[in-house]
Amino acid sequence: MVVLFYGFYFSSLLCFYVLFLHFYFSIIFLFFYFLFLYYIHICYFIMFFILLSTEVLYLSFSLFWLNSFFLFVMFLIYAHISFYFYFLFISLFLFYS
């Protein structure tokens, strides 16, 4: 009877420990997840105003369309890289939670 009691006690303690770790790591991953989302939106905001300012700044130059095209391509590359890390982070969060 004592063995059964201690077995149940330690198994429930182990379950509590596992649930606590799951909750703890979920909070950590959510924290970094929202930080990463915040970082992405700030970067998109900055990139949008860089594109807008360069269009206004180089409106009178002949290389305006070429410059805008290269900036747009750079923005697309940046967006694809950031979304790759975004989905990588989601998959890591789902794997560890």
- Does position 84 have pLDDT exceeding 50, yes or no? yes
C-alpha distances out from residue 38 to 26, 34, 35, 54, 91, Å:
18, 6, 5, 24, 18
Look at residue 55 in the predicted model and tell me its pLDDT.
57
Residue 61 DSSP one-character state: S
Q: How does pLDDT run across 15-65, given as a tens digit for each residue?
A: 555 555 555 555 566 566 666 666 666 666 666 666 666 555 555 555 555
- Does position 85 have pLDDT exceeding 60, yes or no? yes
pTM beyond 0.85: no
Residue 35 or residue 7, greater confidence: 35
Look at residue 6 in the predicted model and tell me its pLDDT.
44
3-state secondary structure 11-69: HHHHHHHHHHHHHHHHHHHHHHHHHHHHHHHHHHHHHHHHHHHHHHHCCCCCCHHHHHH
Residue 60 or residue 82, greater confidence: 82
Sign of CA pseudo-dihedral 60, 62, 65, 68: negative
Look at residue 4 in the predicted model and tell me its pLDDT.
44
